[in-house]
Amino acid sequence: MDLGLKGRKAIICASSRGLGKGCAMALAGEGVDLVINGRNPDVTNATADELRKHGVNVTVILGDVSDPDTQAKLIEACPDPDILVNNNAGPKLRDFRELDREAILAGVTQNMVTPIELIQKVIDGMSERGFGRIVNITSLSVYQPILGLDLSSGARAGLTSFLAGIARSVADKNVTINQLLPGKLDTDRIRDTFKFGADKAGISLDQERARQEKLIPAGRLGTPEEFGKTCAFLCSAHAGYITGQNIRLDGGLYPSAF
């Protein structure tokens, strides 16, 4: 299927590895020119070289996407994006009793404030041009709590509620806002979660991974590649009637009929 994206422009936050990279690879494969972002120069530049093999233009912006200076550089590099993929690292696994005010505010800034700030910067231009796709990578923990990720879950749930009305306010301009909710996908983040669980249970990392995989009806972890393909479809010319939605990619883990 031709997704109708060739020649479009995208900003993809935190895209040097993991799910962000999966989204960047899928969009590059559809002919989208990219502005990517990461903190590690070597890793981010290596990802950019991979993406350029698709024959697209790739600009690298280094830095923390929650830093206003980094945000300004992203917009300067692509002042009229057709696509914005919001992604950011979440707070590390931690007992909520250990969180002080500074840590709580930092987590909310990472996973709620930062995507809102970037959406503010691009949504009017998208509306004026009559095309815009905004995808926010949140988490299955918005629906299904994960002990230790309470701060991340709360901030991402807040983002979801904040954007629900906004998504509907621009739907008639062919601008969509949706969330992708990863379940257990094979990333550095899930490996940290496995280590946390293994240490707590007094078992090996491999044993904890096997235990977690058995909980997933699909019987395996998801991949950044299939996650990225879903993101690319939501960004496509064919997805203009999908907005304000939370799309779970979890191999059937969340037990709900709706």
DSSP string for 189-258: HHHHHHHHHHHHHT--HHHHHHHHHHTSTTSS-B-HHHHHHHHHHHTSTT-TT--S-EEEESTT-S----
Residue 145 has pLDDT above 90, yes or no: no
Residue 26 has pLDDT above 90, yes or no: yes
Q: What amino acid is encoded at 145 in this protein?
A: P
Between CA 59 and CA 196 the distance in angstroms is 35
DSSP letter string, 35-57 = EEEES-HHHHHHHHHHHHTTT--
Does residue 91 contact residue 106 with C-beta atoms inside 8 Å?
Answer: yes
Q: pTM here?
A: 0.94
Between CA 30 and CA 152 the distance in angstroms is 31
Q: Give 162-196 pLDDT, tens digit per residue.
A: 999 999 999 999 999 999 999 999 998 888 878 87
Looking at CATH, the fold of the domain delimited by 9-183+223-248 is given as Rossmann fold (3.40.50)
φ, ψ of residue 70 to 5 degrees: the values are -65, -40
φ, ψ of residue 149 to 5 degrees: the values are -110, 25
Q: Which two tokens stand for residue 205?
A: 């990392």
Residue 216 has pLDDT above 90, yes or no: yes
Q: Which two tokens stand for residue 192?
A: 């940290």
Between CA 128 and CA 117 the distance in angstroms is 19
Between CA 224 and CA 113 the distance in angstroms is 25
Q: What's residue 240's pLDDT?
A: 98
- Residue at token pair 């959406």: 119
Q: Which two tokens stand for residue 3?
A: 């997704």
Between 33-37, 97-101, 144-148, the lowest mean confidence (pLDDT) is in: 144-148
* Of residues 187, 169, 174, 166, the one with CA closest to residue 87: 187
- Radius of gyration for the alpha carbons in the chain, expressed in angstroms and rounded: 18
More confident residue, 91 or 13: 13
Domain locations in the chain as residue ranges: 9-183+223-248, 186-221
Q: Half-sphere exposure of 191 toward its Cβ, with a 13 Å CA cutoff? A: 6
